[in-house]
Amino acid sequence: MKPFGLSYYLDFSRFEWGYWSQSDSTRNMRTDHWRRGRVVGGSGSINGMNYVRGTRADYDRWAAMGNVGWSADDVMPLFRDMERCEPGYHSPPDYSIRGDSGPLPIREVRHCHPLTNAFLEAAQAAGIPRTHDFNGAQQEGVGYGQFNQRRGMRVSSADAWLKPALQRKNLKLVTDALVHKLLVKEGKVTGVTYERDGVMHEARAGRVILCGGAINTPQLLMLSGVGDGEELQARGIDVVLHQPGVGRNLMEHPLIRPSWRVKGPSYSPTSNWLRMAGFGAKFLLTGQGPLATITEAMGFLRTSPAETVPDVHMLFSVAGAVNDDELKFYKSLKVLPYPSFSMVLDKSYPLSRGTIRLASTDPKAAPLIEPNLLGDSRDVETLVKAIRLLRRIVSKSPLTDMVMEEVEPGPHVTSEAALVEYVKARAGLAYHASGTCRMGVDETAVVTPDLKVRGLENLWIADASVMPDLISGNINAACMMIGEKLGRQLRN
């Protein structure tokens, strides 16, 4: 999925695992499709490519939890070294903060749809500051989106780091393989067993690093006997290490999609094939437009003056879409068939926590995903306040002059109780699963601050599962930073 916009029109289900969560009692027993990449590069090869570092305060908070080496001063230079930022079209990057020679190209969206510019003007009219680089000195505010792309084409972690390294004689990439379990002898991990074309193999290594993500990394640990001892024994798995923190602390940004119908054209798919052909031509000629991305602006907003930092994150999507409980194919979204836009909104620092458990001892079986997405009522309260904030933005010129009607939640949904019910019925996923092998200094943390699995030798984890707390915004950039940090550590 190099041009991301195609995912709104074509079925790319063969590139992901097709996981569905258990019914969530916090959201009217809703189930969700948990999109996870089944392709080289993992979920970063199928995501929306929104490039967000997170704030300095996010990483200082990690360090304050006892995770030495994870402060903003420690990790921001890693981000800078990763990046190769294009000269800004709207404003030049501050190269004392941003990188210009790293392996990962970062571009700012250009040639935006008029709705995007109207949104930015309306937000400022509503009192929200304009930020020229939410990965720079100031995250708070609204600004143009940034993406890990080159001429509108995806540049994933596999593109930026793995593919150039494939020339090395000491690197072998094995695809179409499923790891069954870790090989552990006397508390030391010596390799893995994996299946390929129906044949079992063993791979031995002096150092083993897991990068399966917040769903598959804890699943593999539990299949290997590392997890809650009672639960593993109940499944008939020999306990290698009693570590009840494995699979706990599942974090996800709860997301809603307030949407509006507009009077003029948007990027929504319609029967106007001439316009669709124009989208294709724009992409081929400039690498811009809806085939590159339909989310052209981003915001980090405070839902009330009492908040000391932005507590919600939003994307301005120039093609309207709503979550649909009745859809059971690879993406549970219904794209609105008329000109529209959505403000894709999530809570930056959710308090709710879920769990990953084993469904069976079969490595091919999907794990049990128990989201508990709105288990803490304060997460619901934040999203309700955010809806009111978005409505205030839409009421401002010039955006209000372009709007025909509110599609969701709908003009009749105004009371506190009605908005709470809307959030519980429609809240879904930002695809930012994390935290299930939490990093920390306490005994329940799965990995230590050097990302080494506590209680085992020769095993490290470098993916979103180690995050002790969520950052503000999309997490793919932070995942790449985590990998870069461990790579440097093990080289030294």
Q: Is the pLDDT of residue 429 over 80?
A: yes
Percent of the chain with pLDDT over 70: 94
Q: Which amino acid is at 131?
A: T
The answer to whether residue 8 scores a pLDDT higher than 70 is no
The predicted model gives 393-411 an average pLDDT of 97
Give the catalytic positions in this structure: 432
From the CB of residue 154, how many other CB atoms can be counted at a distance below 10 Å? 22
What is the average pLDDT value for the chain, to the nearest integer? 92
Q: What is the pLDDT of residues 442-490, one digit of tens each?
A: 999 999 999 999 999 999 999 999 999 999 999 999 999 999 999 999 9
pLDDT, position 3: 54
Q: Where is average pLDDT lowest: 60-69, 140-149, 281-290, 344-353?
A: 281-290
Q: What is the pLDDT of residues 87-117, one digit of tens each?
A: 876 777 888 899 999 999 999 988 899 999 9
4: pLDDT strictly greater than 70: no
pLDDT digits (tens, 9 = 90+) for 313-345: 999 999 998 876 554 433 467 889 899 999 999
Range 228-250 average pLDDT: 97
Query: Does the pLDDT of residue 278 top 80, yes or no?
Result: no
Tell me the C-alpha distance between 468 and 249, whole Å: 8
Distance CA 127, CA 79 (A): 30
Using DSSP, state whether 181 is helix, strand or coil.
strand
- Where are any strands of DSSP class E within 397-488? 403-408, 428-429, 459-461
Task: Compute the 3-state secondary structure of the chain and give helix, strand, coil in percent, each to the nearest 5.
Answer: 30, 25, 50
Domain ranges of the chain: 1-492
Assess contact for 209 and 200: CB atoms under 8 A. Answer: no
Q: Which long-range contacts (CB under 8 A, 24 or more apart) does 208-212 make?
A: 208/182, 208/458, 208/459, 208/460, 209/459, 209/460, 209/461, 209/462, 209/486, 209/490, 210/459, 210/460, 210/461, 210/462, 210/463, 211/42, 211/461, 211/462, 211/463, 211/483, 212/42, 212/179, 212/463, 212/465
At position 479, the amino acid (one-letter code) is: C
pLDDT (tens digit per residue) in 289-320:
777 788 999 999 999 999 999 999 999 999 99
Looking at the domain covering 1-492, what would its CATH class be? alpha beta
- pTM for the whole structure: 0.94
Write out pLDDT tens, residues 169-197.
999 999 999 999 999 999 999 999 999 99
CA Rg value for the chain = 22
Sign, CA dihedral 368-345-296-11, equals positive
**340-377 as b/e, with b when 16 or more CB fall inside 10 Å?**
bbbbbbbbbbbebbbbbbbeeeebeebbbbbbbbbbbe
Q: Cβ(143)–Cβ(297) under 8 Å?
A: yes
Q: Where are the beta strands (DSSP E) in 353-472?
A: 355-357, 368-370, 403-408, 428-429, 459-461
What are 420's two structure tokens?
């709470």
